[in-house]
Structure 1
Amino acid sequence: MSNKIRSELLDHLIEQERQLLEPSVRQSCDMLDKLLSDDFYEISANGLTFDKKHVISRLPDEKVPQFYNQAFKGRMLSEQLVQLTYHAAYRRSVKCQLNYSVRMSLWRFEHDLWRLVFHQGTPCAEFKLSLDD
């Protein structure tokens, strides 16, 4: 099997990844439930782990940070599993300094939907923001 991902699938998964940053999605337990796999877990930049239940209980009340993401790359790990990597910069408010990270997500095709099964953000050195991405 080739690791090459179809551009339509890559675009679809980037869109879903970005949906998770939209206030309307973050505040909707139903939308989060649809996008996150039942066995989803996340490793945060400070090394903490969160499961789906914790994320759904936390995100609806969390202030959405100012978030930029760019340089998406995707590869097929299997017919039902895709790895996305990208660079992200975010801050809690316009007065805060930007935090930079490399992000990795695993999306699995289950029940006719692509659902997020794993996400990790790792702090990295500052990079130039591209508003074209």
Structure 2
Amino acid sequence: MLLETLKRLECSLHGDKRKDREWLEQVLHEEFREITRSGMLVDRAETIGTLASEVNVPTILSSDFQLIRIRDNFAILHYRTFNPDGSRASLRSSCWECSGNGQWKLVFHQGTPEAEGV
């Protein structure tokens, strides 16, 4: 059940919702940080600004989701993403925290290019 909930939330950030500033403000934790695929550390405001201003939303496919439940209110989601042609494969990790009102929020995210030949 939790795996499906976090997959749905995570994948919402791969589609048109990633441009929705209101949605991003709801789903990204106030202390959100990300290490981008290119190795840059960005904060919540930078992430929201960048995603909300995207002109062309890229098509991101994902697979191989694995969940590590740390506590009742904290979990790590590992998965793989790639373009429809199979290029730009990345390994991703997202840390999610459930607030007192039951809403899951993304606290941390990292995407790393997948090693060649994997």
Instruction: Say yes or no: TM over 0.5.
Output: yes
Count of residues in Structure 1 that have an aligned counterpart in Structure 2: 116
The residue number in structure 1 matching 2:74 is 81
**Higher Rg of the two aligned structures:** 1
Which among 60, 65, 68 is matched to residue 52 of structure 2?
Answer: 60
Counterpart Cα distance in 2 of 1:83 and 1:57: 25
How far off is 1:104 after superposition? Answer: 0.3
Which among 21, 43, 49 is matched to residue 29 of structure 1?
Answer: 21
* Aligned-partner residue type, residue 102 of structure 1: L
Classify the secondary structure of the residue corresponding to 1:50: strand
Counterpart Cα distance in 1 of 2:38 and 2:59: 19
Alignment of 1:95-114 (within 5 A): 98-112=87-101, 113-114=103-104
* Aligned-partner residue type, residue 70 of structure 2: L
The residue number in structure 1 matching 2:34 is 42
Which among 2, 6, 19 is matched to residue 12 of structure 2?
Answer: 19
Could you say what the CA RMSD is over the residues aligned between the two structures, in angstroms? 1.9
Contact 2:15–2:60 under 8 Å retained in 1? no
Percent identity for Structure 1 against Structure 2: 31
Query: What 5-or-longer segments of structure 1 have no aligned partner?
Result: 1-7, 129-133
How far off is 1:110 after superposition? Answer: 1.1
Contact 1:106–1:117 under 8 Å retained in 2? yes
Which runs of structure 1 show a deviation greater than 2 angstroms over 4 or more consecutive aligned residues? Answer: 125-128
Question: What is the TM-score of this pair, normalised by structure 2?
Answer: 0.90
The residue number in structure 1 matching 2:65 is 72
